[in-house]
Each structure stands twice: as C-alpha cells, then as structure tokens.
C-alpha cells in the first residue's frame, strides 16, 4: 500500500509542472509604521506557509504551484467552475478531433481518491461534471489525459462531499473558446493570513484576494496597536497616542505637561507642574516630552503607582511594571526604541510599538543637559533609598535594557501606564 501511494505521488509530479507564485505585502500599524518580527502563517488549505516580517514590516511567501502543461493548438481545458465546490464542479474540454479523455482525482499526497473515468469525447467543447462526495474538505488534483498524449493537472477545492465520481459527459457544438487556453495558473483561494507575536497577540486576516497570477501583492495590512480601552488620551491640551504591549497599556509618547522652568531651577511643590525642556528649548519638549524631577513627577507623594503628573486613570509605573515591560521585550531595548533611534547594534526596531526616543536628561545639579540622542531614562514610582528611585534606561549603541536606581533630582522622561 505504502509503495503504491509513493508511485502515485511521483506520477503526479511528473505530469504537472511545479512553478512558484509569490505573495507579498506589508504589516503596518495604524500610523503606517511597518511591524518587524511578526510571525505570519498563510493558510491555503491544506497547506500552511510561514514567514516573518522584515524590519519595514514587509513579507513574502513563495507558493509552489502546479502549472498546466502547454496544450497544442485546438486543445483546451478550462478551470473548474464553481471552485470551491460542493459537491459538484464542471470543466470544459475542447478537442480538435474526437479523442479518449481519462480523468483521475488525487489528493495532495498523490493518492488516488476515486476510480478513474475514461470516455471518448467529440471534437469541439465537451463538459464534464465532477462530483466528489464523502471526501475530506480540501484541495484535490484532477489529472486529465487526452489520448495518452497530453496531460493537464487542475487544482480544485472541495468544501464538502460520496466517494463517487459522476460520469455525466456531454458535448455541444460551440466553437473553441480561445480564453480557455490562457490560464496558466489556477486561481488559488487564500483561507487566511494569521499574524502573531508577543506584542500584538494574534490577528487573523480573511477575505483576501485569490492568487491568480505569479505575483499577488496584498498591500498594507493594518494591525492596530493602540489600547482598545483608550485609543488616544487628551490631557492638558495635548493628544497622546497609546500602545498595548501584551497586557500593559502605555502612553505611546513621553509626557509633556506643565510649564517650562530653566535648568538651574528646581521644581517645587507649588501646585504647578514644572518641566525641563532639553537645552531649555520648548521645541525639544514638543519632540521629546518634558524632563521631570522625581518629586515633581510624583507630585510630592511617595506612594508606588501614584497618578502623579499623569492623566486621571493613569499612573507612574512601579518598578515591577517596568520589569514586566523589560521581560516582555526580552531585555532588548531596540524593541522599545522608535525607528531611527540608535545606531549599529542599538538601532531601534520598535517591535513593541513603545516608540522610545533618546531624550537625554537634565543633570541632578542643573549644571547642564546631556545625552540627547544617546540615552533615555524613565521614572518608576518606586524608591530604592530615600534619595533615589528606580528607573529604566537604554543607550544608543547597544540593545541593553536596564533597571537602575537614580538620584531623584535628575530631570528625566515620564511614561504613564494605564491603571
Ligand atoms: Ca511644581
């Protein structure tokens, strides 16, 4: 038994030409940024093809397809219609002279699934209705042989089905249709495309076009990454985007709230939120967000997870929540950095969507600002010793992601986390 199956498979491979088709596209987020490192599974029943998106979110699949043999002039075999079918489908066979036509049906393992039918057909266009019952749903191959000389393999898709091949064969007098000759590829329906990674979870695309040619471009496929519970947040006149990273919902931008004070000043408990802007330039606050001393960010309380200067319903992350983020991105800061931030081994891939900018800092003693485009630091609401609190930081030329404790008098970035 095993041996005969193998023989069938070999015959099948010899009788049709195997060619490849390519399916391309790009996975992007709602801001049209490509999503890198997304695992993709393309389901074309019963096969699954796998790939991973590149840095810009693009992907390609190579689909091995069966191509019809080129038939001599006057011969034509149409694609089946309907396809998929349930349980009956029809093909047209056009012959220049009467001839013997043999039709066999195989599954994709090359196993014959029905008895072959063999009939004499007239010159002109004949149709054959093929009915497949009692077989599993999926793709089947029809091998059609004319006069033992020409062989064509057609791929058909059964959606339901007696192990019975109908033998209704009829002839008509229509002239040959040239269009029957033109299709070198069969229309292949895509069942679904499934995208997964640890940040986006799982997203399924359906209703995709059929693969009808040697190249199918699916274009941009959007995976929305904002938090469903809060797609944007309007806070003190500024609209913030959000991003869902596994189970955490983060503001996608550094907080930029309050009035700017000069670097030599210290923020105070005065009922006004005070921020530093790198280089004492408001332009930098617009781009990188404000830089805050810890007590100001916390609004002079020391309770872990407090709201501080965050919008209502949000808080300054506790140390353990930064560790969760660190673990989610597998200690790889590049996954947190925006595209264009960092160089060499420290280039941002932003696979998480966190979109960190290398915002630098205001030194604890107010002497200067430093490390713009080199470092960035984020406060937690957890203290280490009286004068220090835990931070998460990253650097521009490596992918390290560290948690450390830091003097509370530094001015650094604040990212708010949804309660
Ligand atoms: Ca203040």
Rounded distance from Cα 239 to ligand 1 centre (Å): 22
β-bridge mates for residue 18, sequence order: 66
Structural domain including 57 reads 2-66+189-222
Rounded distance from Cα 254 to ligand 1 centre (Å): 18
Do the beta carbons of residue 131 and residue 166 sit within 8 Å?
Answer: yes
Rounded distance from Cα 209 to ligand 1 centre (Å): 57
Rounded distance from Cα 415 to ligand 1 centre (Å): 18
Q: What are 369-391's pLDDT values in tens digits?
A: 999 999 999 999 999 988 999 99
Q: Could you tell me the maximum CA-CA distance found in the chain, to the nearest angstrom?
A: 99
Same domain (yes/no): 57, 174: no
Same domain (yes/no): 87, 163: yes
In 3D space, the residue among 30, 14, 409 whose CA is nearest the CA of residue 231 turns out to be 30
Rounded distance from Cα 310 to ligand 1 centre (Å): 14
pLDDT of 358 higher than 50? yes
Beta carbons within 8 Å of 1's beta carbon, 6+ residues apart:
none
Rounded distance from Cα 59 to ligand 1 centre (Å): 49
Rounded distance from Cα 269 to ligand 1 centre (Å): 5
pLDDT at 65: 55
pLDDT of 345 higher than 90? yes
Q: What are 387-418's pLDDT values in tens digits?
A: 999 999 999 999 999 999 999 999 999 999 99
Rounded distance from Cα 395 to ligand 1 centre (Å): 29
Q: Is residue 227, in this structure, part of any structural domain at all?
A: no
Do the beta carbons of residue 351 and residue 369 sit within 8 Å?
Answer: no
Q: What are 288-309's pLDDT values in tens digits?
A: 999 999 999 999 999 999 999 9
Rounded distance from Cα 281 to ligand 1 centre (Å): 19
Same domain (yes/no): 295, 275: yes
Rounded distance from Cα 321 to ligand 1 centre (Å): 25
Structure tokens at 200: 């986006």
Same domain (yes/no): 167, 302: no
Rounded distance from Cα 151 to ligand 1 centre (Å): 83
Rounded distance from Cα 392 to ligand 1 centre (Å): 23
Rounded distance from Cα 197 to ligand 1 centre (Å): 41
Alpha-carbon distance of 157 to 82, in angstroms, equals 9
Rounded distance from Cα 300 to ligand 1 centre (Å): 9
Alpha-carbon distance of 238 to 228, in angstroms, equals 19
pLDDT of 69 higher than 70? no
β-pairing, 117-121 with 99-107?
Answer: antiparallel
Q: Is residue 210, in this structure, part of any structural domain at all?
A: yes
Looking at the 3D structure of the chain, how many domains does it have? 3
pLDDT of 118 higher than 70? yes
Rounded distance from Cα 268 to ligand 1 centre (Å): 4
Spatial strand order in the sheet of 401-407: 375-383, 388-395, 401-407
Same domain (yes/no): 100, 170: yes
Q: What are 119-151's pLDDT values in tens digits?
A: 899 998 888 888 887 788 777 888 888 888 887
Same domain (yes/no): 372, 387: yes
Same domain (yes/no): 267, 401: yes
Do the beta carbons of residue 180 and residue 94 sit within 8 Å?
Answer: yes
CATH number at residue 140: 2.60.40.2550
Rounded distance from Cα 409 to ligand 1 centre (Å): 13
pLDDT of 159 higher than 80? no
Q: Is residue 77, in this structure, part of any structural domain at all?
A: yes
Q: How much is the mean pLDDT over the chain?
A: 86
- With bands split at pLDDT 50, 70 and 90, how would you rate the model's confidence at 2? very low
pLDDT of 22 higher than 60? yes
Rounded distance from Cα 256 to ligand 1 centre (Å): 14
pLDDT at 16: 45
- The more confident residue out of 156 and 380 is 380
Rounded distance from Cα 119 to ligand 1 centre (Å): 92
Rounded distance from Cα 49 to ligand 1 centre (Å): 57
Rounded distance from Cα 264 to ligand 1 centre (Å): 15
pLDDT at 66: 52
Same domain (yes/no): 139, 277: no
| Average of per-residue pLDDT across 207-211 | 90
pLDDT at 17: 47
Same domain (yes/no): 218, 74: no
CATH number at residue 40: 2.60.40.10
Same domain (yes/no): 166, 86: yes
Distances (CA, A) of 272 to 261, 268, 269: 11, 8, 8
Rounded distance from Cα 267 to ligand 1 centre (Å): 5
- The more confident residue out of 269 and 48 is 269
pLDDT of 60 higher than 90? yes
- With bands split at pLDDT 50, 70 and 90, how would you rate the model's confidence at 177? very low
- The more confident residue out of 16 and 205 is 205
Do the beta carbons of residue 338 and residue 392 sit within 8 Å?
Answer: no
Rounded distance from Cα 258 to ligand 1 centre (Å): 9
Rounded distance from Cα 324 to ligand 1 centre (Å): 30
Q: Is residue 14, in this structure, part of any structural domain at all?
A: yes
Rounded distance from Cα 309 to ligand 1 centre (Å): 10
β-bridge mates for residue 121, sequence order: 99
Alpha-carbon distance of 80 to 240, in angstroms, equals 53
Same domain (yes/no): 280, 412: yes
Same domain (yes/no): 149, 264: no
Q: What are 249-293's pLDDT values in tens digits?
A: 999 999 999 999 999 999 999 999 999 999 999 999 999 999 999
pLDDT at 172: 37
SS3 per residue for the chain? CHHHHHHHHHHHHHHCEEEEEEEEEEEECCCCCECCCCEEEEEECCEEEEEECCCCCEEEEEEEEEECCCCCCCCEECCCECCCECCEEEEEEEECCCEEEEEEEEECCCCECCCCEEEEECCEEEEEEEECCCCCCEEEEEEEEECCCEEEEEEEEECCCCCCCCCCEEECCCCCCHHHHCCCCCCECCCEEEEEECCCEEEEECCCCCECCCEEEEEEEECCCCECCECEEEECCEEEEEEEECCEEEECCCCCCCEECCCCCCCCCCCCCEEECHHHCHHHHHHHCCEECHHHHHCCCCCCCCCCCCCCCEECCCHHHHHHHHHHCCCCHHHCECCCCCCHHHCCCCCCCCCECCEEEECCCCCCEEEECCEEEEEEEEECCCCEEEEEEEECCCCCEEEEEEECCCEEECCCEEC
Rounded distance from Cα 380 to ligand 1 centre (Å): 18
Rounded distance from Cα 196 to ligand 1 centre (Å): 44
342: region left, alpha or beta (phi > 0 left; psi from -120 to 50 alpha):
left
| Average of per-residue pLDDT across 41-47 | 83
pLDDT of 46 higher than 80? no
Q: Is residue 379, in this structure, part of any structural domain at all?
A: yes
- With bands split at pLDDT 50, 70 and 90, how would you rate the model's confidence at 71? confident
User: What is the percent of the chain where pLDDT is above 90?
Assistant: 59
């Amino acid at each position: 038994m095993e041996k005969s199956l193998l023989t069938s498979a070999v015959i099948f491979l010899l009788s049709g030409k195997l060619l490849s088709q390519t399916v391309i596209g790009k996975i992007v987020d709602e801001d049209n940024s490509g999503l890198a490192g997304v695992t993709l599974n393309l389901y074309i029943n019963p096969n699954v093809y796998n790939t991973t998106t590149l840095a810009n979110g693009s992907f390609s699949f190579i689909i091995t397809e069966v191509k019809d043999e080129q038939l001599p002039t006057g011969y034509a075999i149409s694609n089946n219609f309907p396809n998929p079918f349930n349980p009956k489908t029809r093909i047209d066979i056009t012959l220049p002279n009467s001839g013997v036509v043999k039709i066999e049906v195989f599954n994709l393992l090359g196993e014959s699934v029905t008895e072959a039918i063999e009939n004499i057909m007239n010159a002109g266009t004949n149709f054959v209705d093929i009915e497949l019952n009692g077989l599993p749903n999926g793709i089947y191959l029809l091998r059609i042989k004319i006069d033992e000389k020409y062989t064509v393999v057609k791929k058909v898709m059964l959606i339901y089905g007696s192990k019975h091949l109908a033998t209704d064969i009829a002839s008509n007098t229509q002239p040959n249709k040239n269009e029957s000759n033109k299709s070198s590829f069969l229309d292949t329906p895509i069942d679904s495309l499934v995208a997964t990674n640890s940040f986006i979870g799982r997203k399924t695309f359906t209703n995709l076009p059929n693969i009808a040619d040697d190249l199918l471009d699916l274009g941009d496929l959007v995976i929305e990454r904002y938090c469903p519970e809060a797609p944007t947040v309007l806070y003190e006149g500024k609209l913030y985007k959000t991003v869902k990273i596994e189970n955490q919902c983060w503001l996608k931008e550094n907080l930029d709230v309050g009035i700017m004070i000069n670097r030599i000043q210290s923020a105070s408990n005065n009922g006004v939120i005070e921020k530093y802007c790198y280089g004492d330039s408001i332009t930098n606050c617009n781009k990188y967000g404000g830089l805050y001393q810890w007590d100001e960010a916390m609004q002079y309380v020391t309770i872990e997870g407090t709201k501080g200067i965050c919008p209502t319903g949000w808080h300054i992350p506790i140390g353990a929540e930064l560790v969760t983020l660190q673990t989610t991105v597998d200690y790889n800061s590049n996954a947190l950095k925006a595209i264009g931030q960092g160089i060499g081994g420290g280039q941002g891939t932003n696979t998480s969507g966190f979109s960190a900018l290398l915002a630098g800092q205001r030194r604890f003693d107010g002497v200067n600002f430093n490390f713009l485009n080199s470092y960035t630091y984020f406060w937690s609401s957890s203290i280490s010793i009286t004068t220090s609190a835990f931070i998460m930081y990253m650097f521009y030329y490596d992918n390290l992601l560290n948690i450390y404790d830091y003097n509370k008098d530094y001015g650094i970035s604040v990212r708010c986390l949804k309660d």
